[in-house]
């Protein structure tokens, strides 16, 4: 189930990062970018790559938050320890 959740997070984020990459760099030329008043010392491909991973990371965080907020109270509060090894404060949750 955890692998499915990671795919629910990573795959849509990957697709959105690709779309954001196309939209942003259709409007912005990487060679015109500056960082604190200085031109970036990176090639176009490096800027495209870094931007893609930044977009992917931000959209993964958004998808992860959505997935976290979609959990039921049972899933959030359940005790992950097997029944015979649970401490006293996990006894109420199955």
pLDDT in tens, 41-92: 899 999 999 999 999 999 999 999 998 888 888 777 777 777 777 777 665 5
The reply to whether 27 falls in a domain is yes
The reply to whether 24 falls in a domain is yes
For residue 22, what are the domain limits?
Answer: 2-77
The reply to whether 34 falls in a domain is yes
State residue 40's pLDDT score.
86
Pairing of strands 38-39, 34-35: antiparallel
State residue 92's pLDDT score.
56
Q: Which residues pair with 39 in a beta bridge?
A: 34
Q: Token pair for residue 3?
A: 């692998």
The reply to whether 82 falls in a domain is no
- Name which residue leads in pLDDT, 4 or 85: 4
- Please write the tens of the pLDDT for every residue from 8-34: 899 999 999 999 999 999 999 998 888
State residue 91's pLDDT score.
57
Q: Where are the alpha helices (DSSP H) in 1-94?
A: 2-27, 44-69, 73-77
């Amino acid at each position: 189930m955890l692998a499915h959740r990671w795919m629910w997070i990573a795959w849509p984020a990957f697709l959105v990062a690709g779309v954001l990459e196309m939209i942003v760099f259709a409007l912005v030329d990487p060679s015109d970018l500056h960082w604190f008043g200085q031109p970036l010392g990176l090639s176009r491909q490096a800027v495209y790559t870094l931007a893609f991973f930044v977009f992917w990371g931000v959209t993964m965080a958004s998808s992860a938050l959505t997935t976290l907020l979609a959990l039921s109270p049972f899933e959030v509060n359940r005790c992950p320890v097997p029944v015979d090894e649970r401490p006293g404060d996990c006894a109420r949750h199955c």
